[in-house]
A and B are shown apart, each in its own frame.
Chain A
Amino acid sequence: MTEGSPYAPDEASLVAETLLQRAESLAQEAEEDEQDDRMSLLLFRLGEEWYAVELNHVREILRDYVTTPIPCVPSFLRGVVNIRGEILSLTDAAALMQLGAAKDGDKAPAIVIMNEECSTAMIVDEIGDIAETPVDGVEPPLSTTDRLQADYITGSLCLGERLVGLVNVDSMLQPINAADL
């Protein structure tokens, strides 16, 4: 039972120290994880492509809602929706990025995205999973991406098999002001 350490004493202390160092560095990594080198994303599909929006910009998901069309707005705005008495605009993300309009009718789900200034319900074709990804996994947008599309995409990242475009929430939420049109 007293077989003793398989290592020489000096070796043992070295091991202990190394382990301690590793533990510390792991702990540190874990801490940093929670800070800023990872981010949570909500995936969604527009047509054939997958996109993602940062979870801290997502307020809620709408599956059952009634669209009220509003005249004299840009075509990517489907109208407004009444969420418990709050009026939100309905943005057709696919139409905004000129990917062709999203599904018709009220059947398509919508993601309510927000920033400090405002919020809109963004209509998508399908809502996917929530994913965690390191921030430095985001690559700049493909150089071939359309200029217009590039305005709404901050970058792209690989999630498993998929190449996902990260949506620029702030440009999606540019307030609509008839005076500017």
Chain B
Amino acid sequence: MVDFDRTAFIGKFQEEAADLLQRLNEDVISLEVDPDNRELIDRMLRDAHTLKGSARMVGLIDISDTAHRLEEVMVRIREGEMAYTEAVSEGFFETLDAIVHLAETAGEDAECEIDMTALQAKLTAMVEGSEVEDSPQEEDDRVESPSGAEPKAGQIEESLQPKVQHSIRIKTDQVDALLNLVSELVISQIKSEQRAHELHQSLGGLGHIWQAWLQLKSSLALVEPEDDEVSARINDAVNALDALLTAQRRSQDTFAKNLADDVSRGSVVVNELQEQGMRLRMLPVSTVFATLPRAVRELARSFKKDVELVMEGGETELDKKVLEEINDPLIHILRNAVDHGVEPADVRAESGKPEKAIIRMSARQEGDHIVIEVSDDGAGIDAEKVKKAAVRKGYVAQSEADAMSDRAATYLIFEKGFSTSAIITEMSGRGVGMDVVREFIVEKLKGSLDVSSKLGEGTTFKLTIPLTLAIIRALMLRVGGRVFALPTASVEETMRLEPSEIVKAEGQDVIRSQRRTVPVVQLADILGVPTGASNNGKRAIVTVGFSGHRIGFVVDDFVGEQQIVIKTLGSHLRKVDNVAGVTILGAGEVVPILNVQDLMMNARSRGRHRRHADERAEVRDRPRRVLICEDSFTTRELERSIFEAAGYEVEVAMDGQQGLVKLKEDLDIDAVITDAQMPNMTGFELTRAIKGDSRLREIPVVIVTSLERDEEKAEGIGAGADAYITKSVFNQDTLLDTVERLMR
């Protein structure tokens, strides 16, 4: 359990409030000139809303309530129910001044100087367009809370005094600039080490020269002097050269030794510098956690629920920038848990749960990631309900929803604007949902977000976030002869498979991995680079998991895994599809970092696109002939009509056995479409028989079935089927596409 650290929070609030209030002030003036400026009105509304929320969290209810009234005024102005007049401006300025004062004093001595109740009444009157006597009991209750906190805040401010002198506020930009330089230094340090090594090698060469010289010198000594004068001159020259070489050699050696010492000393310092530099940005998670119990308490109260927040791991350290970004997603998740997760008290009592719901929040470090889990013991996510809502709102087709596993359905809650309930509540009222959480965690923090839920038992959200935004671990891989970095956070598995292990199902290349069927695509195709030479026949595949989807990417080869420093693509390249940035490796080479979200999106839309593009039949001298094995009359005739309409000749069989007989007598069958469950011989058995027969082996087999569990798909693929289509996603196009693809 983390102690509630109000000081850290109030400082933060004051900073934020100062910005918001400054902007509100400016906007009031702008709005006077241009009272119909919708953008301005919207921004003021947003700012007031944010101020309300933040104030509520620090417990400055006065500010929150006042901001709420400002918000109401703005809503009415936006809806055109009220004109923006000078009187409104006056009211606004007065209110803003009061809030500025309250914010600066952290609600301490507000009571004696400003009559907030009167001010609020004035604003309410503005909204209602009449003078209203405003003194509801509720107001008085709320006003008390800041004054109750007064002595505490006072003490804290005092205890803060000496602290201030021990720390300096530095803009994160400055720290970032510093860290940028540090990483440059690391690179140049690596280069220096390389140079020192080169010098060492070149000294080895000098040693050979020295040896050769010694030999020459001794040989010269053996030469019988014919002419004393010449001999003396040679002797002098030899001695002079000898002295020079000896001195030079000694000084070179000393230099090399000193350089090596300096470089290795420098290396220690640089490593330390890098570590300390990174730590400049690290703060304990408790700085964010500290604000949450209060938020949960307020939320619980407004939803009329009894909730306790249990927290652990607050001492886990995280990059400041990450911490700042993580606050909002956590609030969203908590709000979601309190609002949708935790059942009303009577329902809890009925299902034998304790009346007080518990939300657990934990942080821990796992390698270079921080894992934050938020679990509630509430109702869990009802996959059926989610599917229904998704179909109703057009996120997925009914057939897709039917085919969807509960797990996949759960992830639908992260779709943009998704909500299962039509009810608007006080805090989550103005329409932001779990999509915001995903956006924050995945897009901004390059992390991943998972949810698991058991109906009736609760829901757990798992946020996996890189320790810092500047440095991540990445899988280095080669595609089209070039090296790319793929953030390890989203990598599930790497593997090397035989080409035969990549099979067709529902018109797509798939592999089996961890008991699941995973579609695979060529990464080179997504990136639009040429496909490189593959590694000795085997295919290197990396599977990536992202928001409940999984895709395998075929690459040329894996290069290795390492830590990389993320850099942007520069000011000119604002956003490039599939590329999140670059990193600079030790030797100075630049490697693009892949954007997992883009890759997944492009891979998925590509799969869909290709299936449609493949609808061209080649001109052949005879119509293609398919064999349909199906025991259900309706399905059989349906399939027959689909193929006949597409210009195929169709043979039918009532079961596998009959089908096999037909295949053996008529070798002109181009493809087999078979049901899985049939009397006498199942589709799987038929498939095995076809694939085991040397004459029939080449005929593609498509299993069309209502069995859609992964295990059954696995059986079909194991039997050697070329494609597997489940009846729930069955439609004319899929079937024809698949068969046509296989026949080419």
Per the bound structure, the CA–CA distance linking A89 and B577 in Å amounts to 15
Q: Is the CB of B183 within 8 A of A70?
A: no
* Mask: chain A, 71-91; 1 = CB below 8 Å from B; 0 = not: 111000100111011111101
Q: Which of these binds chain B: A5-13, A153-161, A171-179?
A: A171-179
Which one of A66, A82, A86, A176 contacts B573 once the chains associate, using CB atoms below 8 Å? A176
- Whether B574 and A88, one on each chain, are in contact in the complex, defined by CB atoms closer than 8 angstroms, is no
Quick one: which of A72, A84, A87, A181 contacts B184, CB cutoff 8 A? A84
The one of B184, B582, B588 in contact with A80, judged by C-beta atoms closer than 8 angstroms, is B582
User: Are A85 and B584 interface neighbours, CB within 8 A?
Assistant: yes
Report if B243 contacts A (CB, 8 A). no
Task: Kindly state the separation between the CA atoms of A91 and B180 in the bound complex, as whole angstroms.
Answer: 25
A91 (CB) vs chain B CBs: closest residue: B572
Stretch from A19-27, A112-120, A134-142 forming part of the interface with B = A112-120
Known contacts A68-B582, A71-B529; decide if A77 and B573 are in contact (CB<8 Å): yes
Q: With A68-B592, A82-B588 as given contacts, are A87 and B570 in contact (CB-CB < 8 Å)? A: yes
Pairwise interchain contact A89-B569, C-beta atoms closer than 8 A: yes
Chain B hits for A100, CB < 8 A: none
CA–CA, A154 to B589, complex, Å?
36
Cβ of B571 and Cβ of A119 under 8 Å apart?
yes
A176 to B183, CA, bound (A): 27
Q: Which residue of A89, A177, A178, A181 is within 8 Å of B570 (Cβ)?
A: A89
Q: Does A69 contact B (CB under 8 A)?
A: yes
Give the docked Cα–Cα distance between A11 and B573 (Å): 70
- Contact residues of B between 559 and 615, Cβ < 8 Å to A: 567-579, 582, 584, 588-592
For B567, what are the chain A residues with a Cβ–Cβ distance below 8 Å? 87
Q: How far is the CA of A69 from the CA of B575 in the complex (A)?
A: 15
Cβ–Cβ contact A80 & B573, under 8 A: yes
| 24 A-B interface contacts by CB (under 8 A) | A66-B589, A68-B590, A68-B591, A68-B592, A70-B569, A70-B576, A71-B578, A71-B592, A72-B527, A72-B577, A72-B578, A77-B573, A85-B180, A85-B183, A86-B570, A87-B568, A89-B572, A120-B572, A175-B571, A175-B572, A176-B573, A176-B575, A177-B574, A178-B575
A82 contacts B529, C-beta separation under 8 Å: no
Q: Which residue of A lies closest to B583 (CB)?
A: A87
Residue contact A71 to B528, C-beta cutoff 8 Å: yes
Q: Which of A72, A82, A84 contacts B579 (CB 8 A)?
A: A72
Identity of the chain A residue whose Cβ is nearest the Cβ of B568 in the assembled complex: A87
In the complex, what's the smallest C-beta–C-beta distance from B203 to chain A, in angstroms?
28
Out of A77, A87, A120, A175, which one reaches B590, CB within 8 Å?
Answer: A87
Instruction: Name the residue in A77, A82, A119 with the highest tally of chain B Cβ atoms < 10 Å from its Cβ.
Output: A82
Taking A66-B588, A176-B573 as known contacts, 20 extra A-B pairs with beta carbons closer than 8 A to each other, sorted by chain A number, are A66-B590, A68-B582, A70-B573, A71-B528, A72-B527, A72-B579, A73-B576, A80-B569, A80-B573, A80-B590, A82-B584, A82-B588, A85-B584, A87-B567, A87-B582, A91-B572, A117-B571, A175-B572, A178-B577, A179-B575
Asked if A68 and B589 sit within 8 Å, CB to CB, the answer is: yes
Q: How far is the CB of B522 from chain A (nearest CB, A)?
A: 13
Question: With the chains together, A41 CA to B547 CA distance in Å?
Answer: 53
Complex formed: what's the CA distance from A80 to B578 in Å? 15
User: Are A118 and B570 in contact (CB-based, < 8 A)?
Assistant: yes
Tell me whether B570 and A88 are in contact (CB under 8 A): yes
Contacting residue for B572 out of A66, A69, A85, A88, CB 8 A: A88
Query: Separation in Å of the B211 CB from the closest CB of chain A?
Result: 37
B742 in the interface, Cβ–Cβ < 8 Å?
no
* B187 contacts A by Cβ under 8 Å: yes
CB of B569 within 8 A of CB of A85, answer: no
Total number of residue pairs linking A and B with CB closer than 8 Å? 86
Q: Tell me whether B664 is interfacial, beta carbon within 8 Å.
A: no
Report how far A82 CA is from B482 CA in the complex, Å: 17
Q: Are B579 and A118 in contact (CB under 8 A)?
A: no
Minimum CB–CB distance from A121 to chain B (whole Å) comes to 9
- Minimum C-beta distance from A4 to chain B (A): 71
User: 5 smallest A-B Cβ distances: which pairs?
Assistant: A118-B571, A68-B590, A71-B527, A89-B572, A72-B577
CA distance A71 to B568 in the complex (A): 15
A174 nearest in chain B by CB position = B572
| Residue in chain B with minimal CB distance to A73 | B576
In the complex, which residues 494-541 of chain B have their Cβ closer than 8 Å to any Cβ of chain A?
527-529
Contact B573 A85, beta carbon cutoff 8 Å: no
Q: Report the minimum CB–CB distance from A39 to chain B (whole Å).
A: 24
A118–B570 CA distance with the chains assembled, in angstroms: 8
Structural contact, B570 and A80, CB atoms closer than 8 A: yes
B578 touches A119 (CB 8 A): no
Instruction: Provide the residues of chain A in CB contact with B592, threshold 8 Å.
Output: 68, 70-71
Q: Which residues of A contact B571 (CB under 8 A)?
A: 117-119, 175
Q: What residues on B are CB-neighbors of A87 within 8 Å?
A: 567-570, 582, 590
Residues in B neighbouring A72, C-beta threshold 8 A: 527-528, 576-579
A115-B183 Cα distance, complex, nearest whole Å: 27
Q: Which residues of A contact B578 (CB under 8 A)?
A: 71-72
Chain B 329-346, CB-CB to A under 8 Å as 1, else 0, gives 000000000000000000
Q: Which residues of B contact A82 (CB under 8 A)?
A: 584, 588-590
Question: Which residues of A lie under 8 Å from residue B184 when comparing CB positions?
Answer: 84-85
A-contacting residues, B174-204, CB 8 Å:
180, 183-184, 187
A71 neighbours in B (Cβ, 8 Å): 527-529, 578-579, 592
CB distance from B523 to the nearest CB of A (A): 10
Within 8 A of A (CB), among B307-347: none
Q: How far is the CB of B377 from chain A (nearest CB, A)?
A: 42
Considering the chains assembled together, what is the distance between the CA atoms of A91 and B529 in angstroms?
Answer: 19
Tell me the complex Cα distance, A179–B575, Å. Answer: 7
Pick from B482, B574, B588: contact of A69, CB below 8 A. Answer: B482
Do A176 and B576 touch across chains, with their CB atoms under 8 A apart?
yes
Which B632-646 residues sit within 8 Å CB-CB of chain A? none
Set of chain B residues within 8 Å of A68, measured between Cβ atoms: 582, 589-592
Chain B: CB-nearest residue to A114? B571
Q: Bound complex: CA of A181 vs CA of B589, how far in Å?
A: 28
Interface string of B151-172 (1 = CB under 8 A from A): 0000000000000000000000
| Bound complex: CA A181 to CA B588 (Å) | 31
Q: Give bound CA distance, A84 to B574, whole Å.
A: 20
A residues in contact with B579, CB < 8 Å = 70-72
Contact indicator per residue, chain B 466-498, by CB within 8 Å of chain A (1) or not (0): 000000000000000010000000000000000
Q: Shortest CB–CB separation between residue A47 and chain B, in angstroms?
A: 23
Instruction: Say yes or no: A173 contacts B589, CB within 8 Å.
Output: no
> Nearest CB to that of B183 among chain A residues?
A85
Question: Smallest distance from the beta carbon of A177 to chain B beta carbons, Å?
Answer: 4
Nearest residue, chain B, Cβ from A83: B570
Q: Which of B527, B529, B572, B590 contacts A173 (CB 8 A)?
A: B572
- The listed residue with most A CB atoms (<10 A of its CB), out of B183, B577, B590, is B590
Contacts of A88 in B (CB 8 A): 570, 572
| Interface core residue of A66, A73, A177 (most chain B CB under 10 Å) | A73
Within 8 A of B (CB), among A56-75: 66, 68-73
Please, how many angstroms separate the alpha-carbon atoms of A71 and B529 in the complex? 7
> How far, in whole Å, are A26 and B334 apart by their CA atoms in the complex?
76
- Closest partner residue, chain A, to B567 (CB atom): A87
Q: Contacts of A181 on B, CB cut-off 8 Å?
A: 577
B685 CB to nearest A CB, Å: 46
Instruction: Output the least CB separation between A56 and chain B (Å).
Output: 18
- Contact indicator per residue, chain B 55-71, by CB within 8 Å of chain A (1) or not (0): 00000000000000000
Q: State A119–B568 Cα separation when bound (angstroms).
A: 13
- The minimal Cβ–Cβ distance linking A58 to chain B, given in whole angstroms, is 15
A70 to B589, CA, bound (A): 13
For B584, the chain A residues whose CB sits under 8 A away are 82, 85
* CA gap between A181 and B598 in the complex, in Å: 14
Least CB distance from B629 to A in Å reads: 45
Q: Complex formed: what's the CA distance from A66 to B573 in Å?
A: 18
Q: Specify which chain A residues have a CB less than 8 angstroms from the CB of B183 in the assembled complex.
A: 85
Residues on A with beta carbons closer than 8 Å to the beta carbon of B589: 66, 68, 82
A119 contacts across to B, CB distance below 8 A: 570-572
Nearest-neighbour CB distance to chain B for A99, whole angstroms, equals 20
Interface flags for B96-131 (1: CB within 8 Å of A; 0: not) read 000000000000000000000000000000000000
Complex alpha-carbon distance, A71 and B480, angstroms: 11
